[in-house]
Each structure stands twice: as structure tokens, then as C-alpha cells.
Structure 1
């Protein structure tokens, strides 16, 4: 009951300040949604808010289905500001009750971020034709109130495409492949079965990500055999992995490969399990942010 009273009092507060209310929401004619990114590593749905900025829903590749929402403002908050997020009916749907989604805090000079669960609720409300709306006090004049709404007009088609994109996201992220260790069978350049799977993941991810900046390929051997032979083996391993990455779309100039031979062991060479760990190629990837 107290939550209902709080919500009602909030609406009364907003209504009493109508004379000082700054409203930002796209009209029926101006409301535009667009799928600005659609790939197996990122899905992004954007909505322009005239004279204010844009609303952005983003989901990225990873083990779990994630969703981020950002209210990208032209003028960032000048101080910490408490805000209320409400789902309300647009003007052309009178009589439909509003409901609170969440409360949040805008941090100074940062865009408005919404928790994951509330972001999913926003999409659900939009799909119902409702208008997720932010209310907060103007950080330049605390007596003025600001209302920022996301229009549901023209939402359905782009939302279906967004959901279709979500179904194609890779089940692993950049962080999962940015540091990958590949191990080899004894002698030669044959990867273990598990390492072949790991390398396939790296290749697949890199084929979709245009922001990869540098890839470092460092190859190592165990200490069995002659030192010069081991050096050549590590060189061949580095070359073979680099060639596969080039085939994934990474420019040769961005790949730095080094064969270290039997140097820099990570385990003793007394046991076969330890030698298995030393026969490795380490892939380290950096990307622009």
C-alpha cells in the first residue's frame, strides 16, 4: 500500500509543477527507432529524443543474456540527481494507469544508466504501447522539473529485429577470448582437441569484431629435443596460428608473433603433464574502447 501511496504522491508532485515542467518526448511523426548494430557480438537499439539526446539499449555476446540501457544526454548532469522511472500511457491512451519501474541516481557528468532488470521492464512496457518516462529535478534550477519519455510509436518492427539479433549473440565475450592458451600434442604443430575448440572461438569472435587493435602470438615448447629444433618448432607454431587469425580477417600488420623455443616454462619438464603445459601458444588481444 505504501508503494502505491508513494507513486500517487509522486504524480501529484509532478502535476503540481506543470508550469515548471520541461518535457522531452518524440511526437508520433518524429518517433524513430533503429537497430544501429546487429551482429553476433553486439545488438543495439536506439531512439532519438528531440532536443535532449537518445535512448540506447545494448546487449553484447557473453555466457548470459545481458542488457544495458543508457540515457545519452546532450547536457550531462551537473550534480548527483535522484530520478524516478515510470511507465505511463501516451496521450492517445487515456485512462491507462501508470506504474513505477524503478528509482535511480544520475551521477555528475555521466549518462543515465538503468539496472538490467529495469531495462528489460522498459522494453516490455514499450512493447505494450506504454511510455517509459524519467522524472527528475533540473540540476541547474532545482525548482524546475524534467520529464523525459521514450515513445512507443514505430517501436514494434525494430524491436522484433532486436530480439532476432539477441538470438544470434555468441555465448562468449571478448574477455573470454582476450587471453587464450593453446596446448599441443607432443612434437609437431598439432593442437590438442580442446585447444582446437578454443582457437575456433577466437577465430569466430575476431571475424565479427572490427575494433581489434593488436594480437600477440607467443609460442613455446618443452625442453625435450635440441634447443635449435625447439626454436624452429615454436616458430612454426606461431606462424600457423597467425595464419589462421589472418584468415579470420585480422590484418597481418596487427599480429605480432614470437617463437620463444624452450624458454619461459610455466611448469617443470619432469612429468608428461608438466611438459604438456609448456607446449603452448598464448594469444593476447587488445582492442579500442
Structure 2
């Protein structure tokens, strides 16, 4: 009987993700980590937040993983890389860091990942027109660049920018509701009216162009009306998707800022403790020498 293959346990997933993040430190600076159903011990100075994109998925069949925002030490480009241990896969998301790195920096990152992790598959996640990736990126970068979220020190200004993103997402969501309800309200009556008029008017042309041509025109008119309303309905759904993704991006940014602000406020206290400890040790050493 062939041995069954089981997915790694959560502890094994966490260890694999930690090994991956440690390997990244050889050529990149770790700025923030997003975790999905995995626990990874990290240095205290790194902001940690849940992976909102996958927590909000319609289905739950997403394997545990850890995603990291990293900065290329050589070129300064920002990248998002994802470690999926159970599938032995490393993903590079170019959408979340669009505009924050060059093509050369991206190519260098992919090459380094392939050299350091030869047993894992490298997957590049590009932008999707259907999901509105470019619109999300433009809306977010117009308010605040990702680099400022990860490295900026003007926390009040950054919080204001994130709040503006939330307002934009709320307005988009409300507009999508208006469009959706408008389409639902008028689609049925207008389709019925268009079908009735097309059949009544075009029937007068049967003697000139024939019944087959008239029937084809009737089907074409009703089909075009249906296609127009379907397009408007899909645009409303698309706007809802975009607004939700902008809201998730703003929530992610806010979580990073809160963690960074907490770490920044704790830094002076930690330095004071270290300094006090050093002074105490020095005093004890001096007292010992005198004795």
C-alpha cells in the first residue's frame, strides 16, 4: 500500500515560514508580516497582522501561509513575498507593491528566490483587469504610498491618509449599491417595453424584408438591451469588489501603523532599560574592583 501524503502540521508550517523569513534577511529588510492560520515567532520590532485578503475569502480552502513586505537591500525596492509551505510554493505579489520597485529589482528578487529555494515553485501574481487591481492601486497610491506606511514617521498624517482611503471605499460601496438597485429596478420593465415595441414595430416590416429577417432583428434588439443591463450590473458588482479591496487595504495599513507606533513608543523605554542595566553592571564591576 502506498504511503499517504499528509499536509504539514501547523507547527511545521510555522517553522517553514520562519526559515523562509530568516533566509530573506540575507538580501532584504523585513518591514511587516501577514499571517494566515499560522504562528511564526518573529523579532519584536516587526509589525505582525492577519492576512485580511484571505480571511475575507468566500471559501476557506486557503492553505496556511505567511506574507512579508520586504525591502531589497541593494536597490531599495519594496516587494511582497508569500511562503505557502504545504504546497512548497513561493508567491510574489506585484500588485500590492506596484510602483514601489523597478523591473530590475523584481527580476533580481525572483532570481534570488530561485537560487535560495530550488525545491519550491515561484509564482508571480500580476494585476487583473477583472478584479480592478489597477484602480485599487491608483486609489491607494493617490492617498498614501506603501513605502510611507512601512517607513514614514508622520503618524498623524498617515492616519489621516488611511482614514481618507476608508471614506473613498465607503463612497464607492454606496455608489455601487445605487447602481445595483437602479439596474434591478429598471431592467425588467425596460426589457419588457423594448421587447414589446420591437415586436410591434418590426412586425410591420415583414412584408418588406421577410419574417426571418424581422425575427432576427427582434432577437438582436432584445439581446442588446439585455447585454447593456448585464454590463451595468457587472460594473456595479465590480465597483463593490474594488471598494472592498480598498477598505481591506486601509485596514491593513492601519494595523501596520498601529504596530509601528507601538514599537516606536516602546523603543525609548527599552533603550532606557538597557542603559540602566549597563550602568548597574558597570557600577557592580567598579565596586568589585575596589573591594
Pairwise same-fold verdict (TM > 0.5)? no
* TM category, shorter: under 0.3
TM-score (norm 1): 0.27
The structure that is strand-richer by fraction is 1
Q: Which has the higher helix share?
A: 2
Normalising by structure 2, report the TM-score.
Answer: 0.26
